[in-house]
Structure 1
Amino acid sequence: MKDETQNFKLQSSDFQQFWSLDPSVTFLNHGSYGACPVPVRRAQQRFREQLERQPLRFFMREFEALLDASRRSLAAFVGAQPDELVFVPNATTGVNAVLRSLSFNSGDELLTTNQEYNACRNALDFIASRTGATVVIATIPFPLESPDQVIEAVIERVSAKTRLALLDHVTSKTGLIFPIQQLVHELAARGVDTLVDGAHAPGMVSLNLHEIGATYYTGNCHKWLCAPKGAGFLYVRGDRQSTIRPLTISHGANSPRTDKSRFQLEFDWMGTDDPTAYLCVPEAIEFLGSLLPGGWTQLMENNRAKALWARQVLCEALGVSPPCPDEMIGSMAVVPLPYELFGYEQAGQVREWPILQDLLCDRFNIEVPVIPWTTPFQQMVRISAQLYNTPEQYHTLAEALITLLSDLL
């Protein structure tokens, strides 16, 4: 543990220079919005200057080749073919594009879990309300002891009416890595298509979309890939591409071109905007992959080891147990908070503690999400681990939580 901590410390001090995060803030929330390194942002600025020097030339003569090059780089990184991918601003847009393109009827069942990301769950509810389909919820136990419990909970809710399963690859609230490949294969064996919300997966876990086998998969590049905000992707299996349309219908809908699929012609041009975030994906992949001798494999292993170490530090400080096995953790982890940190009973009344996330920020300059939950605990703190995070930052969080706890007691 000591040697590992020293290794984290040395690496973090080397890499903080590449991010422009406020040094006065203990930033342990990379998972929410990512953080784009300075060299990648410089690349984006060069693309923006290229665009503004001659906008017509850029969009009409240069953009498509640049986008195709970016797509090839991303496809190699996520284990797909370039013609299976299109760029979207974020994973939520990808989920909506798929759901809005498919047809459902009254009596159809749309399966998801109680840990599905709120925005995507809202999209599923919207589609159900419009079509008469029913949203079926698989309750994933938490805490849990094995990924098998996820599989059992999902498969138990499959019926002859199940048309589609919307599943997270990495859950936002609890940071769990679902056994997504096994889930997809189990569902496919029962005739159920899968739409995977992989918002957190690219850059956190090694991806091979062909091996996963999902019908649809969407992910973000701005989180753990560290591309600029506004870069995400949608993968659609070749036999389903003719069905999937973008949320914005534009020129591609009646393009006479035959050298590309309608799928790419429609998604690649939905109107004039700033596409430079997409074009920076190769720069982000190359830059992050150059920071450690072992490339992306070592980077993901490093972040995971740091997250597990930090989780143990916090659990020991707060006297709580890790709520899931190590194998289900990537570069995010949650730690249950003692009951006293959010309220206590006195004379039959419950006094609610002020919003803990704001308190940690305002009083201690710590930026970390506090996640509401149900029994057996009501709040959790979710930590992220990126190369720039230091061991001292997690100790700072532990000390702040202990201080708040002692204030109450």
Structure 2
Amino acid sequence: MTTQTTPQRPPHLKTAPDDEAYWLAIRATMEPMYVNTQLVNTRRGAAPRLVRDRVRELVDLSLAYELDEYEPMRDLKESGSSLAIRQLLGDYFGADADEMALTRNAMEGIATVLNGVALKPGDEVLATRFCYDSNLAILRQRALREGIVLRFVELPFGIASDEAILAAFAAAITERTRLISFPHVVANTGLVMPVRQIAALARARGAFTLVDGAHSAGHIAFRLDELGCDAYATCLHKWMYGPRGTGFLHVRREKIADVWPLFASWSGKPADSIEKFEEVGTVFKALPASIPEAIAFNRGIGQAEKSARLRFLRDRWAGRLREHERIRLLTDIDADPGTGFGGFVIDGLEGEDFARTLREDFAINVRAFAMDEDPAMRGIHLSPGLPNTVEEVDRFVEATFAILARSHNSLMRAG
């Protein structure tokens, strides 16, 4: 007879990551909508019901009100921002409100900095092959237009130590390096970059650091004032489960004046004002006006609890798969901090074939990937989110083993 045990809650968490009854209740508040079991959540998260209801409540108001003295959203600027919203974001992420600018997505903040840091011909920008292609497109445009030089930091693909990563950055920086751009979390493998150490190294060598935080905000616990990077840009619709079309740009107070805004300030904001980055024209105010509900949702769960749950779901599948002789993990599941992301490769089976079979035969969605900058960097990616359940993850593991057994039998017959 099997004895059922009550999940034990780690002492620093108010809710255990394996308290399935609790997390099923959270799923019920999010009401995810997918046909196949969705185990890839890097593009967007399911906004909880209270955020969706708030957006719906504000839609007609946002489309119909007149700009007069009775404007119902008078506390929001034309950009949708307000001091109260910037303060909420600053409190959650560990920064002052006067270092936080509201944006419409991570790309807007990234484009602001990559285009806004003053560079001259011959100046070097360091990036990684793990940066999004859209980020690199901006730098390549500047290289064509202005004669700057884009160089890559050569980093290991998959598992890498902080020491190895830092050594690679140190070796790549030259006396011409002016800007360094890299992701906080590598999307395909879940590698967490040692931001604080890289930022300290860059500062000592006179370079500006921009961190792409699209996959760290709301995913892992951190404070911006401890990371020490000069700028950090992210969205709120992925791991913060906020309304799509919202994000923020953080710039350290003493560096704000060094970055030109994407749009020239028409209200005369001084060069050292974070609000100069918010003058982007009219936005749909129902979206930023719903940010307080998203913050409340995340605070109600707790960032530490969210992070622990996401890691628990990853470890549940990755811990079993790494024991299989044909599977090589691209993710160090013992690393701290870790994410809910994971990647792996299968010996003798293409990632696209595996993902297609998983979807068509088992109604489970994962993603086969190849890095844009180096297609040899290939694998299979999973990123379960808060709406995912233990049952879904376990079903994925069993389906994977079934596919591997089929593949083994086919190889044996072919041999």
TM-score range with shorter-chain normalisation? Answer: 0.7 to 0.9
Q: Contact (CA 8 Å) 1:313, 1:395: kept in 2 or not? A: no
- Inter-CA distance 192–338: structure 2 relative to 1 (3 Å threshold): same
Q: How does 1:82-97 map to 2 (within 5 A)?
A: 82-97=97-112
Mapped to 1, the partners of 2:327 and 2:354 lie a distance apart of 18
Mapped to 2, the partners of 1:257 and 1:219 lie a distance apart of 23
Unaligned runs of 5+ in 2: 9-15, 411-415
- Once the two structures are TM-superposed, the CA of residue 20 in structure 1 deviates from its matched residue by 2.6
Q: Specify the alignment match of 2:285 in structure 1.
A: 275
Q: How does 1:184-263 map to 2 (within 5 A)?
A: 184-249=199-264, 253-255=265-267, 262-263=273-274
Mapped to 2, the partners of 1:360 and 1:183 lie a distance apart of 39
Letter in 1 for 2:346: P
Secondary structure of the structure 2 residue equivalent to 1:370: strand
Secondary structure of the structure 2 residue equivalent to 1:228: coil
- CA deviations 1:188-207 (Å, max 9, x no partner) are 11111101111111111222
Q: How does 1:5-404 map to 2 (within 5 A)?
A: 7-22=18-33, 24-56=35-67, 57-58=70-71, 61-64=74-77, 67-249=82-264, 253-255=265-267, 262-264=273-275, 266-291=276-301, 295-317=302-324, 319-325=326-332, 326-327=334-335, 330-342=338-350, 356-372=354-370, 379-404=378-403
> Identity of aligned pairs, percent?
26
Q: Contact (CA 8 Å) 1:336, 1:377: kept in 2 or not? A: no
Q: Contact (CA 8 Å) 1:203, 1:225: kept in 2 or not? A: yes
- Inter-CA distance 93–79: structure 2 relative to 1 (3 Å threshold): same
Secondary structure of the structure 2 residue equivalent to 1:305: helix
Secondary structure of the structure 1 residue equivalent to 2:74: helix
Letter in 2 for 1:11: Y
- Inter-CA distance 362–274: structure 2 relative to 1 (3 Å threshold): farther
- Inter-CA distance 263–288: structure 2 relative to 1 (3 Å threshold): closer
TM-score w.r.t. the length of structure 1 is 0.86
Q: Contact (CA 8 Å) 2:326, 2:347: kept in 1 or not? A: no
Letter in 2 for 1:270: V
- Inter-CA distance 261–157: structure 2 relative to 1 (3 Å threshold): closer
Q: Contact (CA 8 Å) 2:211, 2:231: kept in 1 or not? A: yes
Mapped to 2, the partners of 1:256 and 1:114 lie a distance apart of 38
Secondary structure of the structure 1 residue equivalent to 2:75: helix
What CA RMSD, in Å, does the superposition of the two structures yield over aligned residues?
3.0
Mapped to 2, the partners of 1:355 and 1:123 lie a distance apart of 33
- Once the two structures are TM-superposed, the CA of residue 24 in structure 1 deviates from its matched residue by 4.3
Secondary structure of the structure 2 residue equivalent to 1:307: helix
Q: Specify the alignment match of 1:346 in structure 2.
A: none
- CA deviations 1:113-136 (Å, max 9, x no partner) are 122222212222222222211111
Mapped to 2, the partners of 1:140 and 1:24 lie a distance apart of 37
Mapped to 2, the partners of 1:323 and 1:247 lie a distance apart of 37
Worse overlay, 55-64 or 205-214? 55-64
Secondary structure of the structure 2 residue equivalent to 1:177: coil
- Once the two structures are TM-superposed, the CA of residue 156 in structure 1 deviates from its matched residue by 1.0
Mapped to 1, the partners of 2:394 and 2:376 lie a distance apart of 22
- Inter-CA distance 257–203: structure 2 relative to 1 (3 Å threshold): closer
- Inter-CA distance 339–44: structure 2 relative to 1 (3 Å threshold): same
Equivalenced residues, count = 391
Mapped to 2, the partners of 1:20 and 1:328 lie a distance apart of 31
- Once the two structures are TM-superposed, the CA of residue 262 in structure 1 deviates from its matched residue by 4.9
Q: Contact (CA 8 Å) 2:217, 2:236: kept in 1 or not? A: yes
Q: Contact (CA 8 Å) 2:316, 2:393: kept in 1 or not? A: no
- Once the two structures are TM-superposed, the CA of residue 145 in structure 1 deviates from its matched residue by 4.6
Q: Contact (CA 8 Å) 1:168, 1:196: kept in 2 or not? A: yes
- Inter-CA distance 235–145: structure 2 relative to 1 (3 Å threshold): closer
- Once the two structures are TM-superposed, the CA of residue 319 in structure 1 deviates from its matched residue by 4.2
Mapped to 1, the partners of 2:392 and 2:250 lie a distance apart of 37
Q: Contact (CA 8 Å) 1:87, 1:268: kept in 2 or not? A: yes
- Once the two structures are TM-superposed, the CA of residue 367 in structure 1 deviates from its matched residue by 2.2
Unaligned runs of 5+ in 1: 343-352
Q: Contact (CA 8 Å) 2:125, 2:150: kept in 1 or not? A: yes
Q: Contact (CA 8 Å) 1:194, 1:215: kept in 2 or not? A: yes
- Once the two structures are TM-superposed, the CA of residue 32 in structure 1 deviates from its matched residue by 2.1
- Inter-CA distance 6–304: structure 2 relative to 1 (3 Å threshold): closer
- Inter-CA distance 314–289: structure 2 relative to 1 (3 Å threshold): farther
Mapped to 2, the partners of 1:375 and 1:82 lie a distance apart of 39
